[in-house]
Amino acid sequence: MKLEIKGLKAKIEDTPILNGIDLTMESGQIHALMGPNGSGKSTLSNVIFGHPSYEVTGGEILVDGENILEMETHERARLGLFMAFQYPVEIPGVTVGRFLKRAAEIRFGEEDFKAAAFIKELRSWLDFMNMDQNFINRYLNEGFSGGEKKRMEVLQMLMLKPSFAVMDETDSGLDIDALRIVANGLNELRGDAFGAMVITHYQRILDYIKPDFVHIMYKGTIVTSGGRELVETLEERGYDWVRKQHGIEEEEEEVVHEH
């Protein structure tokens, strides 16, 4: 899958957040998208999936050459896109098993769905993610700790095997062990058929996920892109370096809206 973002502009209510994003990503590649709070990273992932609170004011998003901006969220998902949410919502009364079964049926086709194989695979990924088997019968995200919610997102990604995943700050709030498990989940899928954009503002997770490309976002634009070495530069010099490089005034940051 080829995901191309061209000149993308978007706003929430009257506040512009994305001011012209250009990014080209493909299955087989892992991209890291870094940037301080409020730079628009989460907005970008929400806009890729068509969150109703955001309005696209310019540009396009193409999947294998087809513009997806007119598509409903579920249609985009059915192309093979997946988002690991920063703040997964609770869905009371809907068990993880029931929810994932339905999502898998949609992803792989109802005709080819085999319940026994599904359960077997779900159980093995739960073990892999170091999660208790009883999660299958728990209500989705209800009463989960922050770390459990993040693992549940990665578990879903492992089950649904997207062509391209957007992971929105899956690392934030995780201790080092959980971080490693989450990174292992992504590495498990790594290969020609899977690509991801890993959004983070810490370099920590990138020690475990070796990204092929790194992009730094600031105030709604990609200010610089490079290889893995960009992470080290950023770690040494901090975001101040980025600001100075690009002549950005710090105090303006307040007007930027983080969803």
Partner 1 sequence: MSTEQEQVKVEDYKYGFHYPDESVFKTEKGLNEEVIHAISDHKGEPDWMREFRLESLKTFRAKPMPNWGGDLSDIDFDDIYYYAKPSEKQYDSWDDVPAAIKETYDRLGIPEAERKYLAGVGAQYDSEMVYHNIQQELKDKGVIFTDPETAVREHPDLVRKFFGTVIPYSDNKFAALNSAVWSGGSFVYIPPGVHVDVPLQAYFRINSQNFGQFERTLIIADKGSFVHYVEGCTAPVFATDSLHSAVVEIVALEGARVRYSTIQNWSSDVYNLVTKRGVAYKDATVEWVDGNLGSKRTMKYPSVWLMGEGAHGEILSIAFGGKGQEQDTGGKCVHCASNTSSVITSKSISKDGGIASYRGQIKVEPGLTNVRSHVECDALILDPESKSNTYPYMDIMSDDVSIEHEARVSKISEEQLFYLTSRGMDEEEASTMIVNGFLDPLVKQLPMEYAVELNRLIELEMEGSVG
Residue 73 touches partner 1, criterion: CB under 8 A: yes
Which two structure tokens, joined as six digits, stand for 3?
């995901």
Minimal distance in Å, beta carbon 175 to partner 1? 25
Residue 144 touches partner 1, criterion: CB under 8 A: no
Residue 72 touches partner 1, criterion: CB under 8 A: yes
Please select the residue that binds partner 1; options are 15, 53, 57, 130, rule is CB under 8 A: 53
Residue 69 touches partner 1, criterion: CB under 8 A: no
Rg (CA), the chain: 18
Instruction: List 198's β-bridge partners, or say none.
Output: 32, 167
Of 74-82, 119-127, 185-193, 213-221, which part binds partner 1 (CB under 8 A)?
74-82
Q: Which helix (H) or strand (E) holds 137?
A: none
* Measured CA distances, 169 to 66, 82, 143 (Å): 27, 14, 20
Q: Which amino acid is at 249?
A: E
Please select the residue that binds partner 1; options are 94, 119, 193, 223, rule is CB under 8 A: 94
Which two structure tokens, joined as six digits, stand for 254?
């307040």
Helix residue ranges per DSSP H, 35-162: 41-48, 73-78, 96-108, 115-128, 146-160
Minimal distance in Å, beta carbon 159 to partner 1? 10
Residue 231 touches partner 1, criterion: CB under 8 A: no
Residue 63 touches partner 1, criterion: CB under 8 A: no
Residue 125 touches partner 1, criterion: CB under 8 A: no
Q: DSSP 3-state assignment of 22?
A: strand
Please select the residue that binds partner 1; options are 7, 15, 55, 91, rule is CB under 8 A: 91
Q: Which helix (H) or strand (E) holds 18?
A: strand 15-26
Give the integer Cα–Cα distance in Å for 100 and 78. 14
Please select the residue that binds partner 1; options are 160, 178, 205, 234, rule is CB under 8 A: 160
* Measured CA distances, 257 to 32, 90, 131, 188 (Å): 21, 24, 35, 34
What is the per-residue burial (b if ≥16 Cβ within 10 Å, else e) of 180-199? ebbbebbeebeeeebbbbbb
Residue 139 touches partner 1, criterion: CB under 8 A: yes
Q: Which is nearer to partner 1, 29 or 86 (CB)?
A: 86
Binding residue count for partner 1, defined by CB under 8 A:
27
Please select the residue that binds partner 1; options are 56, 103, 136, 248, rule is CB under 8 A: 103
> Left, alpha or beta for 238 (phi > 0: left; psi -120 to 50: alpha)?
left
Residue 237 touches partner 1, criterion: CB under 8 A: no
Residue 77 touches partner 1, criterion: CB under 8 A: yes
Minimal distance in Å, beta carbon 151 to partner 1? 16
Residue 49 touches partner 1, criterion: CB under 8 A: yes
Give the integer Cα–Cα distance in Å for 84 and 174. 14
Contact residues for partner 1, defined by CB under 8 A: 49, 51-53, 72-74, 76-78, 82-83, 85, 88-89, 91-94, 99, 102-103, 106-107, 139, 156, 160
